[in-house]
Chain A
Amino acid sequence: MVKKGYLRLNDDQHDGIKQDVYSSFDTIPDLEIWRQFKTGNESAFIHIYKTYFKSLYNFGLQFSKDTHLVEDSIQDLFIDIRRTRKKLSDTTSIKLYLYKAIRRKILRSIKSSRKRLWDGSIEEGNNFHFTFSYEHHLISQQLNEEKIERLNRALQTLPKRQREVIYYFFYEQMGYLEIKEIMDFANIKSVRNKAYIALKTLRKSCE
């Protein structure tokens, strides 16, 4: 009882009128939401969690098939940012911040479990799996089924990092600058090159 009363009081101080603040987050710029979260606004935190949990989950599973590992990493990430919120740096893109952080976390735990496990025994992740599918509704029909098939075969040959760039660019619709940030590329040019090489491989397959 003692604890509950204490916590509630704390929440009230931060939240103000919970319902109102929560519903109005959609129109507030990321930087503002992030700053509110940093100063202890719990509804800002809930908003961030609710907005990004599903996409972080989907994103995490591109690296590893292990749903436990992905769930734990996301949980840890949110616990971390909540605990150290006062010290976090500002960001104008919460998505980018969380993606970069979760990517680092997951890759690190995959690496550490690889170290312990014997090479090859660990299940490979989904590795940004995607396919080309034949779409009948497309108007001009430049691609026939055979070309689609060849595109898919070429896809299998793309290195993981190239597929990752393709994933951000086409699925997440991120720009080169954002991809550079997430994947720690030295500059935008090298991201663009990576994408270009991958796309060239694909183009050649369906000529």
Chain B
Amino acid sequence: MNAPNKSGWKPSAPVTGDSDSPTTTGNRALMLEEPLIFEIGRTGTTGVDLPPVPENTSNRLGGMERSETIGLPGLSEPEAVRHYTRLSRQNYAIDLGLFPLGSCTMKHNPRLNEKVARMPGFADVHPLQPADTVRGALEVVSELANWLVTLTGMHSVAMSPKAGAHGELCGILCIRAALEARGDARKVVLVPESAHGTNPATAAFAGYEVEDIPATAEGRVDLEKLKARLGPDVAAVMITNPNTCGLFERDMKAISDAVHAAGGFVYCDGANFNAIVGKVRPGDLGVDAMHINLHKTFSTPHGGGGPGSGPVVLSEALSPYAPLPFTAKGEDGTVHLVEEENAGEWGHSDAFGRMTAFHGQMGMFTRALAYMLSHGADGLAQVAEDAVLNANYILRSLDDLLLAPYGESGPCMHEALFGDEGFAEDISTLDLAKALIDEGFHPMTMYFPLVVHGAMLIEPTETESKAGLDQFIAALRSVAERAKAGDDSLKAAPYFAPRRRLDETQAARKPVLAWEGELAPAGKPVASEIGGQ
């Protein structure tokens, strides 16, 4: 079954193979092959106007002059713009369509935020300028901090962590510092099997042993078993809420109470905050620390893998240990930067240290603040509601065809989880995902969480229209039916992407991680072998 698109054009049949006839260039109309800069650039070419290197002048480099060729290719500006524009067209992106990666919150990135981040008072200020010359920048940090603390119902926020995993580390280090301050050396952090890989990696990096938290058959933390495991050796539990099965942890408050009663702390992975922003405050559920991915819930662009930003909201018990630097508001309303030298004045001499050289991801703060101001308190609640509505719509539009392992556990939050039950024996979730690429969609998160066989975790976010969801649902139904019917053509999908399936085994077995050829200094560039010619 193929859904017609709006123009009325309809593919004739499911694709069974490619029918390409080679072109001279290797290009396919608008799909243009592009060599590496090392194959088209020259060391003698530059796209920037600068005076030539003066000859025979003295220098003060102390005999450290670089004499050998570095081997860096240059391109003129038109060549460079074309090179990167061509490359860009080989990428899928949220600007092109639905990007339903579960737990990644790929939502629309408003362009106002890009404009704001580039205002000279934010983009062109140095982190070590005298405080009086950056009061507005400090106010941005402070204003954003206030939003985060208020939305989460927490006591304070550490703004400097650079991304979610860095924020996790910050939170766990606050917990460790708080425990050490009371002379309580605990060794274990409990993490559910369904957690993001960063959780156990973070706990291990901070010097803890990691143990599993058992789950119930309905996909939530098993409160009774958790209680039985708690004791004087447990420093913290790390819980994702809503969890990675797409469910809200109903017993969150009881979990927190039990952990606190046993002398431990509750870390909440805030990756899925988009489902509940404006609807419930983690602080009211007993959470001690939670990182917030500004690049998820608050729409700062993912940029092909970063940068992110991971501020950590903290309970009163953990706040004294938050790392430097951060901002604090004086009685006259002036915002100050609290660093090593004045931490004492601001009653913060117990800070556990410093996580990064400067103050955090300012370029993300401005974007996130512009986003929050745009939505307001009312709009953010609507964000959560629409995100949850869209996910439930997907869940209930597909659960007759695909196994929804926790479909009976109540409504999902902002992501819908399916398993591969019923697929023909030799067809995998991966095959289905690659076929979705041919349908013009980025696949969902696959094989995560680990607790569901062949997992498919779909997070549509609130910025998708109903028509867009309907088209996605039709596409997914079509490929799921093919997977169940054992359509072997799925195994070689995608057919229409810039590349067919890539040989990841070869990449890992004989790693080629850098271009190793010689470069042409000037004149004719070295020959390109790209394009499968």
A, B co-complexed: no
- Listed in ascending order, the chain A residues whose CB lies under 8 Å from chain B are none
